A and B are shown apart, each in its own frame.
Chain A
Amino acid sequence: DTGVSQDPRHKITKRGQNVTFRCDPISEHNRLYWYRQTLGQGPEFLTYFQNEAQLEKSRLLSDRFSAERPKGSFSTLEIQRTEQGDSAMYLCASSLMIAEAFFGQGTRLTVV
């Protein structure tokens, strides 16, 4: 296992379009997290899953955002009706309970 994998690495989309990102965590990790990072800022927590259950969502996660983790394995983050303000790096991380999180390389979204 080579670590947390995110796809795609880069996405350019037109305002108003929907986009979906995928995250494949480290296989034995039961926790999966999504963060958003804008230029010059630290990552901001969006949501996390323990197995297939979504346990916490930040107020940053508007109703245009939805995340799923079917079967407790990979996860998808969908953004509907994208806005220019959604342009950011979307980071996924995974961990075992009570252990440090390992981050993927992120998906850089540009909304034009």
Chain B
Amino acid sequence: AQKVTQAQTEISVVEKEDVTLDCVYETRDTTYYLFWYKQPPSGELVFLIRRNSFDEQNEISGRYSWNFQKSTSSFNFTITASQVVDSAVYFCALSAFEGGADGLTFGKGTHLIIQP
């Protein structure tokens, strides 16, 4: 069975601070895919990143960066110089299938609050 744990239920920081959202996963599959989604108050899940289990390189996209460590089964997400617009619920997800949402297992999400 697959499982995704986001231990941080809610994080509140002041604007411009850096913040890291933790994600720990469990799977018996040797090939799997990890995702991060953002859910603003409007409710729509916004895709942020997909990473496959063979690629452990960290990735940076603007103020966002992701740290994938297979040894600890973690896929953490860091926002640098946070902004109020980053306030949302962030979900980490795991899939045994390539790319698509079939079989996506989501964590419970981390509610990120960026205070001005």
Contacts and interface: CB of A to CB of B under 8 A. Distances in A.
Contact of B100 (A35, A99, A108): A99
Interface residues of B, number: 24
Interface in A89-112: 89, 91, 93, 95, 97-106, 108
Q: DSSP majority for the B interface?
A: loop
Interface of A: 31, 33, 35, 40-45, 48, 55-56, 89, 91, 93, 95, 97-106, 108
26 contacts: A31-B100, A33-B102, A41-B109, A42-B4, A42-B93, A42-B106, A48-B100, A48-B101, A48-B102, A55-B102, A56-B103, A91-B45, A98-B98, A98-B99, A99-B99, A100-B50, A100-B99, A101-B100, A101-B104, A103-B46, A103-B47, A104-B44, A105-B42, A105-B43, A106-B44, A108-B43
